[in-house]
A and B are shown apart, each in its own frame.
Chain A
Amino acid sequence: MRLELHKISITGLELGSVTALKGGVLTVDEKAVLEMLRTDSRFAEVAVDVARPGERTRITPVKDVVQPRCKLEGPGEVFPGFIGDVETVGSGKTLVLDGAAVVTCGQIVGFQEGIVDMSGPGAAYTPFSGTFNLVLVFTPVEGLEKHDYESACRTAGFRVAHYLASAVKTARADVVESYELPPFNVAMTAHAGLPKVAYLYMLQSQGLLHDTYVYGVDAKRIIPTLIHPNEVMDGAIVSGNCVSACDKNSTFSHQNNPVIRALYARHGRDINFVGCIITNENVTLADKKRSSSYAVKLASMLGVEGLIISEEGFGNPDTDLIMNCRKAENSGMKTVLITDEYAGRDGASQSLADACKEADAVVTGGNANEMILLPPMEKVIGFPTFVNVIAGGYEGALREDGSLLVELQAITGATSELGFSRISTCTK
């Protein structure tokens, strides 16, 4: 399967009367976007705004971030099961508005949405301070059930992301990247002498708004399965997740999964990257046992020698992470885990809820409990009072001058367990 990503570098974002691209500046037809979103009767009100890197702007509560993409060639359409039909994606050509993002805001669970600061100390902790963000703020109709609100916000983000890319389809790409992995019969004998490696990709599926979708299917209903990494780039995996902001995988970070990129980068040189296995993080013991055994069995069937295992969320999913690790190591595979930590505000506590001696190679995305003072911003997009109740915030976190004293937990993508950020943790 071969996929070309045709990347256009976005260097500016404006609201205007027609959606167009000129010299890297994306102008968005505000009226068209609003009209499109207002067809959804679940929203009482929709607002559109813009946040650019370096601006003194705070966005909160952030639900999801989506990168504008659409298919140029090849079967299917991006976000299969939501925008595209449930046709297999991951081959042909896909247009990417690199440097742009659609940020959705809603007060769905309140305590499980995040903060994105476009400048100041908080900006260093979120990847989305560096993107030109089209921010969509959704107010639900009265009495709308939370699951419906989440679903409405989720789909709206995909629609706008797809719309933006589609509207500038004829523009010329600045960069074309190609990604290709051969079928297994070829992969198994390719790159003699290099170790075969797979990626075990854990998807948040604890339920009750902690959900991830694969081709539109709720991940808690899947049995671990194989997916081509290119499918992920076309939005086959999307976030429906309202868990703590710091380590939930936004749709953007799925589309740009850095583990997949890093494995591709070393493919054929240091490793033979043969594929991706997705698994879930369900809450019952039977599900945990079944999924970890099944996922590791798939890796064994592929005959891989090494596995990168990435977690999503914390606490309960730590047990899935450790089960995956222990079973894989005991089956003779070498593992490296990517997680983050909840070591307390002072860093003195144990970081994970589970551990095993086999987990001797761990990458951490940081201690999510560490505190950060976010100074007041000139402009706040969204619903700022929700900071008092988001995870990582607390009653009184929002001070009178508009500054916030919160845990990193409250910052969108701060301690990404896909290894998106450059944060790590050491023991002092």
Chain B
Amino acid sequence: MSFRVVHYINQFFAGIGGEDKADVPPELRQGVVGPGQALAAALGSEAQVVATVICGDGYFAENLEKATADILQMIRSCNPDAVVAGPAFNAGRYGTAAGAVCAAVSKELGIPAVTGMYPENPGVDMFRKSAVIAKTADSARGMKDAVPAMARLVLKLLRKEELGSPEAEGYLEQGLRKNFFTDVTGAERAVEMLVNKLAGKPFVTEYPMPVFDRVAPNPPLKDLANATIALVTSGGICPKGNPDHIEASSATKYGEYGLEEFDLLTASSHETAHGGYDPTYANNDPNRVLPVDVMREMEKEGVFKKLYGKFFTTVGNGTPVANAKRFGAEIAAKLKKDGVDAVILTST
């Protein structure tokens, strides 16, 4: 018995058409289509391409959620053991779609999903952690290398073999830290590394430091008395009941809620969604994390002109930097549009 593989490709590789046909909705065909032929050959007798799902790149980009759901449904109906998408080379929308399909397949169906892209394809950064992406050339001229590479990876995953290093296996680094056993202790490795570093010889750090985004503070406000000030928090304060279900850790969203009607926050109006600290004191008096009470007093005293009518909130607890960065950019854009002069950020 051989493994069952579903292949995902775009309208161009299916022979439907180019940009003019990019709006075709998802379609399921039995057997191989286009590059599926080469894929079937590369998989050999161990796996067969049972069906092909085709979708226009434009349609996918404009109907992200619906397209993903519909494609997932089509794939599920084939009862596959694995999914291969692309290769997308350096085609941005195709790469994004192929990456999204693979990510959804691994998450929802729990089966291996492999795609192939050129390292600079925007789909790589979006999906490298959630999909296995074979490294390909930047155009379809690289098809003869890309397809066997993808086939090799998917077969390995189907056999439940662990993938070796990205260089050895020909996939793009996923940025996932994996433990392994070495021959020498950490202490001996450290002294060896120091001896080399002191001698000016090459050495390889075992943990390359991440580059933290450092944001230079803006100059102080010139005219505080006429400033509109907003409150933004990563301390998880939200209306009682957490209406948007912001996660207690690893948040995927932020909330924006009105403040106009509040002179202060109370235990009956607000609470924290944060799962990373003892919430007792924040829940008893949410002003401790989001200081609406003090801001209102200062507003009345005329220290500044106005407290902005909404607050933005999320949970900063194991939240991936990528999510935090996106929240920050979106929130800042909204505040800027509404003419807010300054923001007080509170954490916990």
Contacts and interface: CB of A to CB of B under 8 A. Distances in A.
Same complex for A and B? Answer yes
Interface of A: 124, 195, 197, 258-259, 261-263, 265-266, 270-271, 305-308, 310, 334-339, 341, 343-344, 346-352, 355-357, 359-367, 370, 408, 416-428
A424 B192 CA distance: 15
A338 B182 CA distance: 15
Please name the 9 residue pairs, one residue from A and one from B, whose CB atoms are nearest each other, closest first. Answer: A419-B186, A419-B187, A258-B187, A347-B177, A347-B176, A343-B177, A355-B209, A262-B191, A362-B207
B210 A350 contact: yes
B176 A427 contact: yes
Given A271-B195, A361-B205, A418-B187, 15 more contacts: A308-B191, A334-B194, A339-B207, A346-B129, A347-B176, A348-B175, A352-B209, A361-B194, A361-B197, A364-B186, A367-B179, A370-B178, A418-B186, A422-B186, A424-B179
Secondary structure type dominating chain B contacts: loop
Given A266-B191, A420-B186, A306 B197 contact: yes
Nearest to B200: A334
A305 B318 CA distance: 37
B336 interface: no
Contacts of B321: 350
Residue among A339, A356, A366 with max Cβ neighbours from chain B (10 Å): A366
B34 interface: no
B186 A359 contact: no
A426 B197 contact: no
5 contacts: A259-B191, A348-B129, A424-B179, A427-B174, A428-B173
Contacts of A265: 188, 191
Contacts of B199: 195
B165 interface: yes
A417 B210 CA distance: 20
Nearest to B163: A428
A357 B176 CA distance: 21
A419 B209 contact: no
B187 A428 contact: no
Given A339-B207, A364-B206, A259 B190 contact: yes
A338 B185 CA distance: 11
B207 A341 contact: yes
Nearest to A344: B318
Contacts of A427: 173-178, 208
Contact of A365 (B184, B186, B188): B186
Interface residues of B, number: 41
Given A341-B207, A424-B180, A425-B178, A261 B198 contact: no
Query: Which of B175, B177, B182, B210 has the most C-beta atoms of chain A within 10 angstroms of its own C-beta?
Result: B177
Given A334-B197, A426-B165, A262 B209 contact: no
Contacts of B262: none
B163 A419 contact: no
Interface string B287-320: 0000000000000000000000000000000101
Contact of B185 (A334, A336, A419): A419
B177 A356 contact: no
Contacts of A344: 318
Given A351-B207, A362-B206, A262 B187 contact: yes
Contacts of B209: 352, 355-357, 359-360, 362
Interface of B: 129, 163, 165-166, 173-191, 193-195, 197-199, 203, 205-212, 318, 320-321
Contact of A425 (B174, B179, B185): B179
Contacts of A352: 207, 209-210
Contacts of B189: 363, 419, 424
A305 B212 CA distance: 28
A425 B206 contact: yes
A347 B195 contact: no
Contacts of B129: 346, 348
A425 B165 CA distance: 12
A207 B319 CA distance: 27
A338 B179 contact: no
Contacts of B183: 422
Contact of A347 (B178, B193, B194): B178
A370 B205 CA distance: 20
Contacts of A416: 186
A336 B197 contact: yes
B213 to A, nearest CB: 11
A346 B175 CA distance: 10
A266 B173 contact: no
A270 B195 contact: yes
Contacts of B186: 258, 338, 363-365, 416-424
Contacts of A334: 194, 197-198
B177 A422 contact: no
Contact of A422 (B185, B191, B207, B212): B185
A351 B177 contact: yes
B169 to A, nearest CB: 9
A424 B182 CA distance: 7
Given A361-B203, A366-B179, A422-B182, A308 B190 contact: yes
A266 B205 CA distance: 20
A426 B203 contact: no
A361 B195 CA distance: 11
Contact of B193 (A259, A336, A343): A336
Contacts of A124: 181
A266 B176 CA distance: 34
Contact of A195 (B175, B198, B212): B198
B318 A338 contact: no
A338 B181 contact: no
Given A356-B209, A426-B165, A428-B166, A370 B179 contact: yes
Contacts of B177: 341, 343, 347-348, 351, 367, 425-428
A312 B174 CA distance: 29
Given A336-B197, A362-B206, A348 B176 contact: yes
Given A367-B178, A428-B176, A336 B320 contact: no
A347 to B, nearest CB: 4
Nearest to A370: B179
A408 B194 contact: no
A423 B180 contact: yes
Contacts of A425: 177-180, 206-207
A337 B318 CA distance: 24
Contacts of B193: 336, 361, 363
A194 to B, nearest CB: 9
A202 to B, nearest CB: 13
Nearest to A415: B179
A115 B318 CA distance: 25
A419 B184 CA distance: 10
